[in-house]
Every structure is written in structure tokens, then in C-alpha cells.
Amino acid sequence: MCPLFTAFATGLILTFAQQNPLTEGRAVAYLQQLPVQQIDRSLPGTPFESWVRQVAGAQAGVTWMLTDCGNSSIGSAGGDIPGCVEVNAMLPNYRKVAVVVQIGTYSKGINGQPRLLFAVIEDKGKLFNVPRLGDLPEMLRMRVIRPKRTPVKLPALPAVRVPLWFNSGRPIGEDFRWLAETVSYQPPHVRAPAQAPTKVSDGALIGSVISRVVPEYPLLARKNRITGMVLVQVTIAEDGRVVEAVAISGPPVLRKSSEEAARKWIFKPTVLNGVPVRIQGNLTFVFSQP
């Protein structure tokens, strides 16, 4: 086939995809055929689906689904919701792998600039973050997963002036008092920056629910037959309790009730690299007339 015609046809396909709303079938097929090298340059040009099968093994159970990326991703102007494809693999040794890749937005479709949102390994109830997609095969080969640690850069301490001799002409007692005050100087306490919540997919969040509360249907909305879906972003503390709930889409009259219900949900604590962490994800509440 003529190379020029092939390039032209490929351009038409990409243009058509960008002008169509995102659907699960189109999104999953796009990621499965995408060369994994476009997400991590250290990997080969193998199609993403073939690479996942090679890493997870022939006997692993693999599922693909379209999901909401959450606010951690880069959305488009006008409040368009970013779309991600979530890949889950259950390995024969009972380890689980979840990889989430952003591929576009729900209304504008595939944008041709995929990026890894996050990848984690679940082993014996603990989550281990995978820094790069290329690190996944090595971490899965480990009998005991040892997460890669990022070196910590300590803040520089202010210089302390120390006298070399006492020649101020003051009484010797005053010189020694000045020396004591100088040597005992302590730099101000430096606070470490607050750790941002770890983003999790909707499926992983629902799978960790311990207790859930159904929102009340507001009387005003019921009388006016207002229905719809409300998306609430929740921040969950290290102990599994919701510390913040903010409705980010849905009919305004239904948002307050959804936020109040979301604050009462309780989840299993999330452990990442052996340490309980704060997480953030989305809950969906659907209001419909009986």
C-alpha cells in the first residue's frame, strides 16, 4: 500500500476519533492497539494489550474498562470530564495489578496524547506504587515487593557565626554569654509539605467500602420531578473516614444531599508501600423518580 495513502488514512481515523464522544468500546480498543512505547519510552513498540499479557502471564485474568480519571488529570476547557481506561489483572499468585491511562475526554473523544495516571500492585492487602510503567515487570518478579524510595533532600541550615577570639573590650562574662547565645541558636522548624491524596479509580474506591449511606431525595426535587446523576469527589483519611466531600457535577438541587450522604461513608484504610495513606476518588449517586 502507498505510504502516502496510509498516512492520509491514519490521519482521517485520528480526526474522526477526536470528533466523536468517548465510548468504552472505542476507548478500550484504542489503548489495546496503542504501542506501549508511547506511554513509557523505555518500553518496546509492542501493542499495549500484548505487553500486558506478556507481563501478567497467559493465565492471568485481565479486564478493561472506561472510567472517570478524577481531578488529578488534565481536563479540557469548559469543564469536560477526562476519560481513562483502567486495566485490572489478577495474577495466579493472587497479586492484583491496576493501570490507569488517560486517553482523552468524554465529549471530545480521544486526543492522541495518552499518559499514565497511575499504576499499583496489590499484594496481601497492601498497595505498592509503580513509579513508571517500565518498572512493573521487575516489581512483579520480586518475591517480596520492595518499593523504590525517593532520596530525601534535607533543607539547608542557616550559617552560625562563631567567634574566633574575644576582643570586644567588654567584661569576659559578657563575651561568654554572647558565645552561649550563638551556639545554642536553633534554626526555625521546617515543616514538610502536606502529602497530596493518592488518586484511586471509581472501581477501586467502591471495592473498599465498609459502610455506605443513601442520600435523601430533596422534597423540592421530588415535587418538580428533578432527576439525574451527581458526582461527588471525596477525600478519605488514613483511617478510612471521609474528611471532605464536594459535588463536582449534577443538578444543583441534588448536590447538598449527595455531599451529606458521602461524608457518612466508611472505607477500608488504604496502605501504600506499607504506610496508611490519604486517598481521593469519586462517588456517583443516581436520583430517579419511582
pTM of this structure: 0.50
Q: Is residue 198 pLDDT above 70, yes or no? A: yes
Return the pLDDT at 50. Answer: 92
| pLDDT, greater one: 219 or 148 | 219
Which residues are CB-contacts of 129 (< 8 A; sequence separation ≥ 6)?
118, 119, 120, 147, 198, 272, 273
Question: How far is the C-alpha of 193 from the C-alpha of 198, rounded, in Å?
Answer: 15
Stretch 247-262: mean pLDDT, rounded? 92
Q: Is residue 174 pLDDT above 90, yes or no? A: no
Stretch 61-67: mean pLDDT, rounded? 87
CA dihedral 180, 181, 184, 190 (to 10 degrees): -170
Would you give the DSSP letter of residue 47?
B
Q: Is residue 122 pLDDT above 80, yes or no? A: yes
Q: What is each CA distance from 257 to 8, 87, 221, 273, in whole angstroms?
A: 51, 32, 11, 35
What is the bridge-based pairing of β-strands 279-287 and 198-199? parallel
| pLDDT, greater one: 162 or 195 | 195
CA dihedral 263, 196, 279, 122 (to 10 degrees): 180
Which residues are CB-contacts of 14 (< 8 A; sequence separation ≥ 6)?
110, 112
Q: For the chain, how big is the Rg over CA atoms in Å? A: 27
Question: How far is the C-alpha of 117 from the C-alpha of 73, rounded, in Å?
Answer: 7
Q: Is residue 263 pLDDT above 80, yes or no? A: yes
For CA atoms 158, 164, 166, 168, the dihedral sign is negative
Return the pLDDT at 8. Answer: 42
Q: Is residue 77 pLDDT above 70, yes or no? A: no
Return the pLDDT at 14. Answer: 44
Question: How far is the C-alpha of 30 from the C-alpha of 280, rounded, in Å?
Answer: 27
Q: Is residue 153 pLDDT above 90, yes or no? A: no
Task: Name the band, by pLDDT with cuts 50, 70 and 90, for residue 155.
Answer: low
Question: How far is the C-alpha of 122 from the C-alpha of 63, rounded, in Å?
Answer: 16
Q: Which domains does the chain have, with CATH numbers?
A: 13-141 (no CATH), 198-287 (3.30.2420.10)
